[in-house]
Chains A and B, each alone.
Chain A
Amino acid sequence: MLKDKKNYKLIVVEDNIGDFILFEEYLNEKIENPTLFHFERFKDLNDFQDKITPDFDIIFLDLSLPDKNGLDLIIEVQKISKQIPIIVLTGYSDESFATTSLALGISDYLLKDDLNSTTLYKSIIYNIERNKNLVKIRESEQLYSDLFQLSPLPICVYDIETLLFIDVNEAAVNLYGHSHSEFLNLKVDDIFHDEEIDKTEEIASKIMTHKKKNGEIIFVDSRSNTITFNGKKAKIILSNDITKSLNHIREIELQNQKLKEIAWKQSHIVRVPLSQILGLTQLILDDKETTQETKELIIILNNSAKELDKIIQEIITKSKEISLNE
């Protein structure tokens, strides 16, 4: 029978030399040239932890080592295992504990008394593949979690029944000023400011006023959807802070108003003294007693005033365009 030629990197923590020799024999029956790292104590493995890299395939762990055993051992090994699958080696007497260890995240267990080359090889292959899938799932979960947590838009999730927040992302914490744990003690009303809305209704897009922890009122463009979150009916609400843009628009409106006032002043106030000058120059020119020399000067004055009048007219025409564009 052909042996598997793939280069497996395995760690075996086993203090019983007899068991280890047997294990090695079974392994060599199926695998051509495995790279094996053998430790007899937990301490030896612990000293080796810096050299444990994700390219290791499996850690085999005997549950009763002289310096550590049982639950304690599992927890300690998991800390340094870099998510490499751990397969527990145990005797009949510990089978029930081996079963519960699966719940702790142990990949598999093998009963030493039943061990043979086939079961060992099958377990190695199976757990390597299983771990590959687990890594993919973890990555996918991480991706979804990142989409929520790292989203630049503040997102809050709250329970439809209790209206208590279930989860909020980093951007929501930054926007509202409540810490993540403070949020979990708040109800959705605590961030609403004077909002009379049905909290179970979905909102397509609505400009709402919300309030921050420091009491500051902000304008947000809010959208919400109903989702199932950890088995509960919940609402996910996305709040885009538009306070700055709204204030910006208000400022522009205010400036526009001022501009119109200036235009009004041009047309009404500035033109008053100008119309006086124009009227007076006309009177002086009409006066029979005005000398020719004075007349010439007055004509120049009259022209200057007319020029000024033209400029004011241009300003009034331009300001009319502002009003029309509204």
Chain B
Amino acid sequence: MKHLFIIDDDAVSVLILKKMLSNADFLETPMVFYNGNEALNFFSKNYTSVDTYCVFLDINMPVMNGWEFLDNIQTTIHPNNFMVYLLTSSTSEYEKSKSNDYHCIKKFISKPISKEILNEIKEVFNSI
């Protein structure tokens, strides 16, 4: 099974991404969490090593931010079938370089995501 997720507290960002996903013909309907903690609870219960996960993750969120989520989820998931795309309004070099420390992060993307990048992600997602 393939699953698509958006973890972002900003409703407008979520709306834009959903619309773009549908424009790009992503077959899956994404599941949305509004902070890291909600997502963490879900994955702790439902993650399986046979499924494939594609996660668009925001960094700045209340309760549990993107980095904290990644720190907590690392022991649960395997980077081979859990692909994280950091999607953030931040353009900070520090965060860009920090994303190299996590194996599951496939790309650091500054919002808004472009059609081209979304298509690349779709290719990868569909090929697995």
Contact = CB atoms under 8 A, between A and B. Distances in A.
Contact of A267 (B19, B91, B111, B112): B91
B91 A320 contact: no
Given A272-B10, A275-B112, A267 B92 contact: yes
A313 B89 CA distance: 12
B118 to A, nearest CB: 11
A279 interface: yes
A267 B111 CA distance: 12
B99 interface: no
Contacts of A280: 12, 16
B19 A283 contact: yes
Contacts of B19: 283
A283 B12 CA distance: 12
A278 B90 contact: no
Given A268-B60, A272-B10, A286-B23, A279 B111 contact: yes
A214 to B, nearest CB: 47
B13 A276 contact: yes
Contacts of A320: 93
A266 B125 CA distance: 33
B13 A316 contact: no
B72 interface: no
A286 to B, nearest CB: 6
A267 B110 CA distance: 11
B78 interface: no
B92 A283 contact: no
A313 B16 contact: no
Contact of A275 (B20, B23, B93, B111): B111
Contacts of A312: 91
Contacts of A274: 89
B103 to A, nearest CB: 25
Given A268-B60, A275-B110, A316 B16 contact: no
Interface of A: 267-268, 271-272, 274-276, 278-280, 282-283, 286, 312-313, 316, 320
- 4 smallest CB-CB distances across A and B, nearest first, come from A279-B112, A275-B111, A279-B16, A271-B89
